[in-house]
Amino acid sequence: MLGGGLIGLNWGMFVWAVESERVVEASLGYFMNPLMNVFLGVVFLGEALRKAQWLAVTFAAAGVLWLTISLNAFPWVSLTLAISFALYGLIRKVAPASPLQGLRVETSVLLIPAIAFVLLRGNASENLTSDTATVILILLSGAVTGIPLLLFASSAKRIPLSILGILQYITPTIQFLLGVFAYNETFDSNRLIGYSIIWSGLAIFALDSFRFASSQTSHVE
């Protein structure tokens, strides 16, 4: 049930951020989220990082710090997104339920609040019933949201949370590419510096992972 509340908070905050034209803050939250996962993995699960991984995390933290400062405001939206999803990942990591069972419980927990929200927001319900295209898109968004969440929960069971955290930088990077090349959003020098620092950390992590996997294969042979 706690997992359902956390993911509901995360979804709600993300939708609100997009509707409120605070996409930059939301994007920063998803850059912060992997760092939160790494922190929780090390502190609560006792996961160990190699030196190169610590260096990668340091680069990522420095990049996120730069992006935070460049916004010139306390990023409460970003922190809410990052912390809520990181805690959700930790719960899914240690919970005995299977990914599908967990997702079923979480969506059940959110069902009643979701119905109440639609009924209480008269304007929202009128918009949904008057626009068929909107209804179809919202229904499809359920699958687009649920399937990745199911895959995430399954991955959280199979790989260390610290590695899962680093891999999650793929999502905000794709968001960045869409924002710049598909939606023509502004990408100033401050963001370029922050993203470059984070990508440097990702390159270090990827190279270290490749070398570690190669060494493990050599030992097996």
Cα distance between residue 59 and residue 128, in whole Å: 44
Average pLDDT of span 126-140: 71
pLDDT at 125 over 60: no
- The boundaries of the domain holding residue 135 are 2-215
Q: How far apart are the first and last CA of the chain?
A: 46
User: Is residue 221 assigned to a domain?
Assistant: no
Check: CB of residue 29 under 8 Å from CB of residue 82. Answer: yes
Q: What would the pLDDT profile of 178-198 be if each residue is shown by its tens digit?
A: 777 887 777 888 888 988 998
Cα distance between residue 166 and residue 36, in whole Å: 10
- pLDDT-based confidence at residue 162 (cuts at 50, 70, 90): low
User: Is residue 26 assigned to a domain?
Assistant: yes
Cα distance between residue 22 and residue 77, in whole Å: 8
- Reading phi first (left if > 0) and then psi (alpha if -120 to 50, else beta), residue 72 is in left
User: Is residue 115 assigned to a domain?
Assistant: yes
Total number of domains in the chain: 1
pLDDT score recorded for residue 171: 81
User: Is residue 17 assigned to a domain?
Assistant: yes
Average pLDDT of span 34-57: 84
Cα distance between residue 197 and residue 35, in whole Å: 14
- pLDDT-based confidence at residue 129 (cuts at 50, 70, 90): low
Q: What would the pLDDT profile of 50-77 be if each residue is shown by its tens digit?
A: 888 889 889 988 988 888 888 776 778 8
Q: What are phi and psi of 95, to 5 degrees?
A: -70, 140
Distances (CA, A) of 55 to 52, 68, 112: 5, 20, 45
User: Is residue 138 assigned to a domain?
Assistant: yes
User: Is residue 220 assigned to a domain?
Assistant: no
Cα distance between residue 191 and residue 199, in whole Å: 12
pTM exceeds 0.75: no
- pLDDT-based confidence at residue 47 (cuts at 50, 70, 90): confident
Sequence-distant (≥ 6) Cβ neighbours of residue 145 within 8 angstroms: 11
